[in-house]
Chains A and B, each alone.
Chain A
Amino acid sequence: MTLIDLANPTKFLSLTARVLPWLAGATAILLLVGFYQAAMAPDDYQQGATVKIMFVHVPNAWLAMFVWGVMSLAALGTLVWRHPLADVAAKAAAPIGAAFTFLALVTGSLWGRPMWGTYWEWDARLTSVLILFLMYLGLMALWRAVDDPSRAARAAAVLTLVGAINLPIIKFSVDWWNTLHQPAAVLRMGGPSLDKAFLIPLLVMAVGFSLLFVTLHLAAMRNEILRRRVRSLQMMQASQQAA
């Protein structure tokens, strides 16, 4: 099966029916291993047991940005290549990305209270991630506000590409501004600065959450294709009744 074949919704549905059980199984196994490793990881010499929040906070924060990146590629697919599944992919990803962003914000806040002495600070990293969360909500509202999926897709694609400007701002906010948030410890020049005792569980959790996203995204895309099938059949029914 080639990439061109996947432009056919029926072939895409057939593929998802075959791969979803395997993806769900691999996700469950990886997340279980990740949670076990996180539970067994030692305390940090400065942060104590609160370092365990990192194993859920960081993967969610990465995915918050990654999902917007996926939506930006899908937006290009809608505007430039007019791929039939591009806007389906973008629309299906938005609620999942919003959930990851919400979790990154709340777990970060719960980690910040014991370490920084505050749940929230209007610093560059925290504020730019909050803006990302609001953009996800705005995009979801836009999809709901416009009835015609193809019109909504073009407007959403433009908004998504404009919003992508926020991604490098989030990533480099800790370097460009003096923030309370710590600088990057894994994705940095010179390699990760984390000890293996923390790095390995973190990477396992990151892969597990990434697989969770792929699984949920494919399932949500399948649902969106079926929703559009329902819509077209309802329109056919209405025109038959009118004739």
Chain B
Amino acid sequence: MTSLGPYASFVVTSYALVAAIVLILIGWVALDYRRQKERLRELEASGVTRRSGRQATDIR
């Protein structure tokens, strides 16, 4: 790997920012999935069922 020279801070900041935003996107999608599954579980536990009769949390 070559030295990044006098502009290393620009290169490192760019890569760090990309990594941070990508991780935030992955975290947001994963947390949102957990939140929706949790809400569906709570609704099913309270006795609300889908018209098809299938479990709301069943995605297989």
Min Cβ gap B27→A in Å is: 11
Min Cβ gap A157→B in Å is: 23
A134 within 8 A of B: no
A233 pairs with B43, CB closer than 8 A:
yes
Within 8 A of A (CB), among B25-60: 25-26, 28-30, 32-33, 36-37, 39-40, 43-44, 46, 48, 50, 54, 56, 59-60
A236 within 8 A of B: yes
A233 pairs with B40, CB closer than 8 A:
yes
Min Cβ gap B56→A in Å is: 6
Total interface residues on B, CB under 8 Å, equals 38
Q: Mark A49-65, 1 if CB is under 8 A from B, else 0.
A: 11011001100100000
A17 pairs with B43, CB closer than 8 A:
no
Q: Mark B1-23, 1 if CB is under 8 A from A, else 0.
A: 11111111011011101100110
A107 contacts across to B, CB distance below 8 A: 14, 17-18
A-B contact count (CB 8 A): 107
A155 within 8 A of B: no
Min Cβ gap A201→B in Å is: 13
Neighbour of A113 across the interface among B2, B10, B32, CB < 8 A: B10
Within 8 A of B (CB), among A107-166: 107, 110-111, 113-114
A53 pairs with B37, CB closer than 8 A:
no
- Chain B contact residues: helix, strand, loop or mixed: helix
A175 contacts across to B, CB distance below 8 A: none
Neighbour of B40 across the interface among A56, A111, A226, CB < 8 A: A226
B21 pairs with A99, CB closer than 8 A:
yes
Which residue of chain B is the closest to A219 with respect to CB atoms? B29
Neighbour of A223 across the interface among B10, B13, B36, CB < 8 A: B36
B2 contacts across to A, CB distance below 8 A: 42-43, 49
Which residue of chain B is the closest to A96 with respect to CB atoms? B25
A60 contacts across to B, CB distance below 8 A: 18
A107 to B10, CA, bound (A): 9
Q: What are 26 A-B pairs with beta-carbon distances under 8 A?
A: A17-B59, A39-B1, A43-B5, A48-B7, A49-B2, A49-B3, A49-B4, A49-B7, A52-B4, A56-B15, A99-B25, A103-B17, A106-B17, A107-B14, A107-B17, A216-B26, A219-B30, A222-B33, A226-B36, A226-B59, A227-B36, A229-B40, A233-B43, A233-B56, A234-B48, A236-B48
**Which B residues are closer than 8 A to A by beta carbons?**
1-8, 10-11, 13-15, 17-18, 21-22, 24-26, 28-30, 32-33, 36-37, 39-40, 43-44, 46, 48, 50, 54, 56, 59-60
**Which A residues are closer than 8 A to B by beta carbons?**
10, 13-14, 16-17, 35, 39-40, 42-43, 48-50, 52-53, 56-57, 60, 95-96, 99, 102-103, 106-107, 110-111, 113-114, 212, 216, 219-220, 222-223, 226-227, 229-230, 233-234, 236-237, 240
